[in-house]
Structure 1
Amino acid sequence: MSTIPDLATLHALGPAQQPTYPDQAAVDSAVAQLRTMPPLVFAGECDELKGKLAAVARGEAFLLQGGDCAETLAGVTADNVRNKLRVLLQMAVVLTYAASVPVVKVGRLAGQYAKPRSSDLETREGVTLPAYRGDAVNGFEFTPEARVPDPQRLVDVYNASAATLNLVRAFTTGGYADLRQVHTWNTDFVRESPVGQRYEEMAGEIERALTFMQAIGADPDEFHRVDFHSSHEALVLEYEHAMTRIDSRTDAPYDVSGHFVWIGERTRQLDNAHVELLSRIRNPIGVKLGPTTTPDDAIALAAKLNPHNEAGRLTFITRFGAGRIRDGLPPLVEKVKAAGLEVAWVCDPMHGNTFEASSGYKTRRFDDVIDEVQGFFDVHRSLGTWPGGVHVELTGDDVTECVGGGEELTDMDLSSRYESVCDPRLNRVQSLELAFLVAEMLRKA
């Protein structure tokens, strides 16, 4: 059985990106409360996802991972959860049908409440306050009271995640995810766009195929429900540690806050507390690899996090930026391939392509997002490896946060409906457009 270091040992490693709580007794109380709460996910579900990710690593499936940059406690409503699930279902159907490849569906939800920041402080009009680190840590409002880290928020995150997962499970098993709903997933603002019309044509083809299969007596359970898993960045050590439990079946530790947890670009140092903690749990895990990652870094991380070279255990999520992917990725893939490591490669085309628009809003160009995905596919195709998936920040709403795409959003459009509390997300039309473009890339892979 793998043992889990206590929190004091982890903090002695000097972990990055942690909140500075003013009241340790309040932290201890929140952690103690979390330790008594039921699991949000089950170890068997984590093992099931690991098996699906093993298929991704073998080149037999494709991972679609998406959702909010940073969830908010106020955003835990039936409409918000349904809208995010709906766009992911649409994207998965496009990828599966257009590219003829099984799609593993994982949401950035039910736990994505903490965010690393480039600075500990934020200054506005001469006033400096602690940076907003996500609703798991402090409030978005720019006031001294809101920006004080509050450990009770970790308990609020648990409750919000439980509510979100309850809704997701109801939607995915209660009929909403039935393939016969492919037309109803298309809302008016999507249906009226060119990509929405393309989706409707495909939905009609699927509907005819389903009618045929039903006529010949084939009606598998997979048509009526989908497997859907949760994921988030394992950032706040107190939360992840408190949610790590020993599985009664295997006597092994699992982080039961989510099926899949990942280590960010800012916390992936080999001697970091995050790497140490995630090396001990049995969940499938991911690591973000940016432009500063060396091939030796990748090899060392794999040795630490997946010492038995278990397929499905480790996913490398690359985030280079459109201008760097074609030069920066090949050395990593080549060395990992030469070492015979079982790794799923996934592209995050969002985080390396952020810039500030002339209007002052943080944004991303849709063309840059697509170019990075295309570069990711080009590299893997040239090296004979499998481009295993995409990891995307998106929303099911009609927001205006990323410029470009079929709607041709411009800098001037950003202010009309910019709702993200952190990084800009693709809206539903852009997400669907991305799915069709990735499906075309997959057909050539």
Structure 2
Amino acid sequence: MELQWDPWDWQDYEIAQQPSWRSQDELEAVRRELRLRAPLVFPREIDALRRSLARAAQGQAFVLQAGDCAESFHDHSAAAIRAKLRVILQMAVVLTYSSGVSVVKIGRIAGQYAKPRSSDTEVHHGLEIPVFRGHIVHDDDPTLEARQPDPQRMLTAYDLSRATVATIKALTEGGFSDLSRAHSWNQDFVASSPEGERYEAIAAEIERALRFMAACGIDLSHEEVLHQITLWTSHEALLLGYEAALTRRDPSSQRFYDLSAHQVWIGDRTREPKGAHVRFVSGIANPVGVKVGPTMTSDELLAVCGELDPDRTPGRLMLVARMGHDTVRSALPDLVRAVQSAGHPVVWLCDPMHGNTFVSEAGYKTRDFEDIMDEITGFFEVHRRLGTWPGGIHIELTGEDVTECLGGGEGVLETELSRAYDTICDPRLNARQSLDLAYRVAELLIR
């Protein structure tokens, strides 16, 4: 008989990818404090996202999920948030204008502070130290002292997430995302590039269309979709104590919601069908995602889908394929067929970042833009061949002028990686590369 779900019963299940906290008593004290904190998002917002994702599951919308690999405690200014929002807005405009498909915009933001890792330790200058697991756990400085897991950092992560949510709301509701201001989203270092010039042409056409409608007597002042957008928040639900402490039962529906974010996902390393992470997300009403790597079998995937989407609800489950560009065309089809045959109305997303990481000759972890695009192209090819909908992309990016990924329209070279390599974890696309990617994905959407 199925046990009744509780936000804390994941503790009775095997769990992976957890820090070795310095004090269990301190950890419990932090969890108690988090239970008293106000929610970061609200059930009605989560329900609205689920309805939008249901449209994507039915092939009527496309999901753009994008943001930092790992958010930093050291860079949470309004300017940094604005830069990320700006490039996501630009990408959404390009995708919508070029393809005519509605775009659901989800940020890896306001909570993406924890990272799963393939190894527990790393070696730095001959010293073996704990691997960096995100600022919610410890600092990124490569010392034994800095890498000691500290439960108090969960409270800092909450505070910064709350400030980020407030900043996003102020920007999206205060005119920054007004479509009539599309020109202003083009940053200087982007505007001077071929991608930026191409974007300026789209912005000018949108501006002319808005003027034309106004001249025809169409009152656009009350058209909310033109003047503000919704950027939903998301992160990986890795530290289940943090997630459970922010999970509340909604009095009206009697359903449990994880109010740390609108949407959460579990990774390829924590997707065990009978494990703690799957158990936790099985009981929350949020839309949930699962990263699907190249080693996952159809039986394993169907077992996860059965746990997370037993009622086959459109908008509930997102499957995020992260295969690698040389594997996606061979590994993905059987998985898509199995899910389709089982009747799960999922949203399939492509994460072309994590399967295409390598280390340059100079020792920089990087990704090649053409490998990223090849995986997205393969993802589309598989879905087109099977008659299913390629529902979206899941991208790690920044609005800053970094040099972390190779290639793109202006071609970041391997010798240039050291110029502005600022990530605290994995390499991200910069704003020019992100815009270039949006154009190329839009072309795939209209084929």
**TM class by smaller structure:** over 0.9
Partner of 1:368: 371
Partner of 1:238: 241
Q: Supply the distance in 2 between the matched residues of 1:17 and 1:313 (Cα, whole angstroms).
A: 25
Specify the code of the residue in structure 1 equivalent to 2:331. G
Q: Supply the distance in 2 between the matched residues of 1:126 and 1:73 (Cα, whole angstroms).
A: 27
Structure 2 counterpart of 1:414, from 392, 395, 417:
417
Per-residue deviation, 1:248: 1.6
Partner of 2:121: 121
Secondary structure class of the residue paired with 1:45: helix
Partner of 1:54: 54
Secondary structure class of the residue paired with 2:416: helix
Preserved contact between residue 3 and residue 280 of structure 1 (Cα < 8 Å): no
Specify the code of the residue in structure 2 equivalent to 1:82. R
Q: Supply the distance in 1 between the matched residues of 2:68 and 2:187 (Cα, whole angstroms).
A: 20
Partner of 2:229: 226
Partner of 2:163: 163
Secondary structure class of the residue paired with 1:75: coil
Partner of 2:381: 378
CA RMSD of aligned residues (A): 1.0
Q: Supply the distance in 2 between the matched residues of 1:437 and 1:3 (Cα, whole angstroms).
A: 46
1:38-76: per-residue Cα shift (whole Å, max 9, x none)?
Answer: 000001101100000000000000000000000011111
- Does the alignment pair 1:339 with 2:362? no
Per mean C-alpha deviation after superposition, the further-off stretch among 129-138 and 212-221 is 212-221
Partner of 1:100: 100
Preserved contact between residue 7 and residue 247 of structure 2 (Cα < 8 Å): no
Structure 2 counterpart of 1:358, from 361, 378, 388:
361
Q: Supply the distance in 2 between the matched residues of 1:213 and 1:264 (Cα, whole angstroms).
A: 46
Q: Supply the distance in 2 between the matched residues of 1:100 and 1:125 (Cα, whole angstroms).
A: 52
Partner of 1:80: 80
Preserved contact between residue 309 and residue 344 of structure 2 (Cα < 8 Å): no
Specify the code of the residue in structure 1 equivalent to 2:76. V
Per-residue deviation, 1:287: 0.2
Per-residue deviation, 1:128: 1.2
- Does the alignment pair 1:287 with 2:290? yes
Secondary structure class of the residue paired with 2:446: helix
Secondary structure class of the residue paired with 1:301: helix
1:219-255: per-residue Cα shift (whole Å, max 9, x none)?
Answer: 1221100011000000001101111111121111000
Q: Supply the distance in 1 between the matched residues of 2:128 and 2:296 (Cα, whole angstroms).
A: 32
Partner of 1:268: 271
Structure 1 counterpart of 2:328, from 325, 335, 342:
325
- Does the alignment pair 1:426 with 2:429? yes
- Cα distance 1:132–1:68, how it changes in 2: closer, same or farther (>3 A)? same
Partner of 2:35: 35
Preserved contact between residue 287 and residue 316 of structure 1 (Cα < 8 Å): yes
How high is the TM-score relative to the length of structure 1? 0.98
Per-residue deviation, 1:345: 0.5
Q: Supply the distance in 2 between the matched residues of 1:28 and 1:359 (Cα, whole angstroms).
A: 43
User: Percent of counterpart pairs with the same letter?
Assistant: 51
Q: Supply the distance in 1 between the matched residues of 2:82 and 2:192 (Cα, whole angstroms).
A: 20
Specify the code of the residue in structure 1 equivalent to 2:210. L
Q: Supply the distance in 2 between the matched residues of 1:295 and 1:153 (Cα, whole angstroms).
A: 38
Secondary structure class of the residue paired with 1:265: coil
Q: Supply the distance in 1 between the matched residues of 2:305 and 2:161 (Cα, whole angstroms).
A: 29
Per-residue deviation, 1:432: 0.3
Per-residue deviation, 1:4: 4.1
Q: Supply the distance in 2 between the matched residues of 1:12 and 1:130 (Cα, whole angstroms).
A: 26
Preserved contact between residue 64 and residue 92 of structure 2 (Cα < 8 Å): yes
Per-residue deviation, 1:3: 5.0
Structure 1 counterpart of 2:251, from 234, 238, 248:
248
Specify the code of the residue in structure 1 equivalent to 2:160. A
Partner of 2:111: 111
Secondary structure class of the residue paired with 1:390: strand
Preserved contact between residue 138 and residue 149 of structure 1 (Cα < 8 Å): yes
Per mean C-alpha deviation after superposition, the further-off stretch among 119-128 and 382-391 is 119-128
Q: Supply the distance in 1 between the matched residues of 2:112 and 2:328 (Cα, whole angstroms).
A: 26
Secondary structure class of the residue paired with 1:182: helix
- Does the alignment pair 1:153 with 2:192? no
Secondary structure class of the residue paired with 1:267: coil
Q: State how many pairs are aligned.
A: 442
Secondary structure class of the residue paired with 2:185: coil
Partner of 1:65: 65
Preserved contact between residue 7 and residue 283 of structure 2 (Cα < 8 Å): no
Q: Supply the distance in 1 between the matched residues of 2:53 and 2:115 (Cα, whole angstroms).
A: 25
Q: Supply the distance in 1 between the matched residues of 2:343 and 2:35 (Cα, whole angstroms).
A: 39
Q: Supply the distance in 2 between the matched residues of 1:181 and 1:6 (Cα, whole angstroms).
A: 43
Q: Supply the distance in 2 between the matched residues of 1:406 and 1:92 (Cα, whole angstroms).
A: 18
Specify the code of the residue in structure 2 equivalent to 1:102. S
Per-residue deviation, 1:5: 3.5
Q: Supply the distance in 2 between the matched residues of 1:139 and 1:30 (Cα, whole angstroms).
A: 18
Q: Supply the distance in 2 between the matched residues of 1:197 and 1:90 (Cα, whole angstroms).
A: 12
Specify the code of the residue in structure 2 equivalent to 1:59. G
Secondary structure class of the residue paired with 1:429: helix
Specify the code of the residue in structure 2 equivalent to 1:333. V
Q: Supply the distance in 1 between the matched residues of 2:28 and 2:120 (Cα, whole angstroms).
A: 23
How high is the TM-score relative to the length of structure 2? 0.98
Partner of 1:182: 182
Q: Supply the distance in 1 between the matched residues of 2:159 and 2:312 (Cα, whole angstroms).
A: 35
Structure 2 portions without partners, runs of 5+: none
Secondary structure class of the residue paired with 2:156: helix
Per-residue deviation, 1:14: 2.3
Secondary structure class of the residue paired with 1:222: helix
Q: Supply the distance in 1 between the matched residues of 2:11 and 2:120 (Cα, whole angstroms).
A: 18
Structure 1 portions without partners, runs of 5+: none
Preserved contact between residue 7 and residue 280 of structure 2 (Cα < 8 Å): no
Q: Which runs of 4+ in 1 moved over 4 A?
A: none
Specify the code of the residue in structure 1 equivalent to 2:11. H
Secondary structure class of the residue paired with 1:73: coil
Specify the code of the residue in structure 2 equivalent to 1:399. V
Structure 1 counterpart of 2:261, from 258, 263, 279:
258
1:338-368: per-residue Cα shift (whole Å, max 9, x none)?
Answer: 2221111000000000000011000000000
